[in-house]
Amino acid sequence: MTSFGERLRSRIDSRGPLCVGIDPSTALLRAWGLDDSPGGLEKFARSATEAVAGLAAAVKPQSAFFERFGSRGVAVLEAVVADARAAGALVVMDAKRGDIGSTTAAYAQAYLDPGSPLAADAVTVSPYLGFGSLQPMIDTALAHGAGLFVLARTSNPEAGEVQLATVPGGRTVAAAIMDHVAGLNRGAEPLGSFGVVLGATLDDPGYPVERLGGPILAPGVGAQGATFADAARLFAAARRDVLPSVSRAVLAEGPDPARLRAAVARLNDEARAHLSA
């Protein structure tokens, strides 16, 4: 069993660092000429995945855009996970789950246990019920060679009121979270399986990112205004471990699969130029 960190290092080195978000919003479905319906969702999500998953290191389906259609939407999400894996991309489930006890264990089983049809290579999680609340997720990830991306400093401007609050000793909440993640990765080679979410739109990560030992999922490139050069500057000491996430900058090129593939290739080349050591 290879770890998520090992698989991600291999994909970044061989394919480039780009992570493509699969975000079937109402606006994007309509831009593709599709109904905002389970049928439109399936056409959009599976066509997008088929076009990009053979090129990108990872795809990141945003589960909320599937869940809004109930069981039919979740069935499409299961198909997207299978399609992406068949094309060789890693799957990062963007679910941002966070709870306690048996509920967290159930989320872990849903998203990280290979027996689940929703099982991904990694899942985004929220530590804001206390980092210890993630232990069932951590244990399940370790048992199955999966990974976590823990929300630390996100790209939304209102996050600062929580993430930049201080804990005893003067560290910010975000820095304390990143210390926990660094501890989980200690000694892992070539890359730890426990990553953080740090927005590429930040002025400063507020932490020595070279200590993390795991990947940095960096949303905010493209439609939110950040560039790959911004990500390279912000995370300079760990640039080879950055997984920049783009969604609209790729998906707006659909529904033509050739244009989708061309967008991935162009953005991946740009990302590689800035983020490869």
Rounded average pLDDT over 116-139: 97
pTM of the shown model: 0.96
For residue 211, what pLDDT is reported?
Answer: 97
- The residue among 52, 85, 88 whose CA lies nearest residue 246 is 52
CATH number for the domain spanning 93: value is 3.20.20.70
What is the count of structural domains for the chain? 1
CB 83 within 8 A of CB 53: yes
Rounded average pLDDT over 35-45: 98
- Summary mean pLDDT of the chain: 96
pLDDT digits (tens, 9 = 90+) for 101-115: 999 999 999 999 999
| Helices marked H in the chain | 4-15, 26-31, 38-52, 63-67, 71-86, 101-112, 135-144, 160-163, 173-185, 228-234, 248-251, 257-275
For residue 27, what pLDDT is reported?
Answer: 97
- Tell whether omega for the bond before 255 is within 30 degrees of 0, i.e. cis: yes
| Catalytic site residue from 68, 96, 171, 240 | 96
For residue 155, what pLDDT is reported?
Answer: 85
Task: Tell me: pLDDT of 197 over 70.
Answer: yes
43 is catalytic: no
pLDDT digits (tens, 9 = 90+) for 46-96: 999 999 999 999 999 999 999 999 999 999 999 999 999 999 999 999 999
Rounded average pLDDT over 11-19: 97
CB 263 within 8 A of CB 257: no
Full residue range of the structural domain in which residue 248 is found: 4-234+243-275
pLDDT digits (tens, 9 = 90+) for 152-169: 999 888 999 999 999 999
Single-letter amino acid, residue 242: V
Residue 92 CA to residue 224 CA, distance in Å, equals 20
Of the chain, the end-to-end C-alpha distance in Å amounts to 28
Task: Tell me: pLDDT of 271 over 70.
Answer: yes
